[in-house]
């Protein structure tokens, strides 16, 4: 999905095995965006990513029968998009990923595309089942982790259309805020349902 309002691409794709969850009001909002020509869809990554400033990733991290997240699936999808990103684009990640995932993507981008100057930021999703659209459009606050003033300025423009209460911090600190709990036994990975004190 491409929003012409801000030159932002928002990836809406359900990973294999994830069920569709109803979001009251979403169908009407999508219809309004399409009819006003402010929203369009394409399956062609080169077309979708051609002139964007921000690629907003919001993959639902798939989980297996043991409730263990498939982080590699999400990272692979993001890595595939790096080929098509224009120079200087910002990748905003809102998928549920452990601390260190953004650093891993930065290393990949710097190694494969050193001349593209791709920036990365993290803003944890904070949606509620059955109220996702309402919570997204009227949040108490938005937590955003950035590394550069360029990325902060872009995200401030984007988020200010939703709220002016933005909590700025490092990418790693923002990644400590996801509202879920995931334990991956034997790896030392622990994700908390509340931020550490």
Please report, for the domain that includes residue 171, its CATH number. Answer: 3.40.50.720
β-pair type (142-145, 166-169)? parallel
Q: How far apart are CA 120 and CA 54, in angstroms?
A: 9
Query: What does the pLDDT read at residue 185?
Result: 38
Tell me which residue range forms the domain holding 28: 2-191
Which of 29, 156, 10 minimizes the C-alpha distance to 95?
10
Instruction: Indicate whether 69 belongs to any domain.
Output: yes
The pTM for the full model equals 0.78
Helix intervals (H) in the chain: 26-35, 45-49, 71-82, 101-112, 132-137, 149-159, 171-174
Lowest mean pLDDT among 20-24, 96-100, 108-112, 155-159: 20-24
**What pLDDT sits at residue 31?**
84
Q: Is residue 197 part of a domain?
A: no
Q: Is the pLDDT of residue 179 over 90?
A: no
> In this structure, what token pair is assigned to residue 164?
């002016």
Q: Considering its fold, how many domains does the chain have in total?
A: 1
Work out the percent of the chain whose per-residue pLDDT is above 90.
39
Angle at 189 between CA 97 and CA 168, to 5 degrees: 45
- Averaged over 124-129, what is the pLDDT? 72
Please give the residue that has the higher pLDDT: either 132 or 37. Answer: 37
Q: What sign results for the dihedral spanned by CA atoms 151, 41, 39, 73?
A: negative
């Amino acid at each position: 999905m491409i929003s012409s309002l801000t030159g932002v691409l928002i990836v809406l794709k359900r990973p294999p095995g994830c069920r569709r969850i109803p979001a009251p009001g979403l169908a009407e909002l999508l219809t309004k965006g399409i009819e006003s020509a402010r929203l369009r869809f394409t399956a062609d990554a080169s077309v979708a990513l051609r002139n964007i400033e921000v690629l907003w990733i919001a993959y639902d991290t798939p989980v297996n029968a043991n409730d263990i997240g498939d982080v590699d699936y999400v990272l692979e999808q993001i890595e595939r998009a790096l080929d098509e990103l224009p120079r200087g684009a910002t990748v905003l990640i809102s998928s549920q990923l452990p601390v260190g995932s953004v650093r891993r993507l930065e290393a990949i981008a710097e190694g494969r595309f050193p001349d593209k100057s791709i920036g990365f930021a993290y803003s944890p999703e904070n949606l509620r089942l059955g109220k996702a659209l309402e919570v997204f459009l009227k949040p108490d606050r938005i937590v955003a982790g950035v590394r550069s003033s360029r990325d902060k300025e872009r995200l401030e423009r984007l988020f200010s259309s939703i709220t002016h209460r933005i909590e700025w911090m490092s990418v790693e600190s923002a990644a400590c805020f996801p509202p879920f709990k995931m334990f991956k036994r034997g790896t030392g990975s622990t994700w908390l349902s509340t931020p550490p004190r």
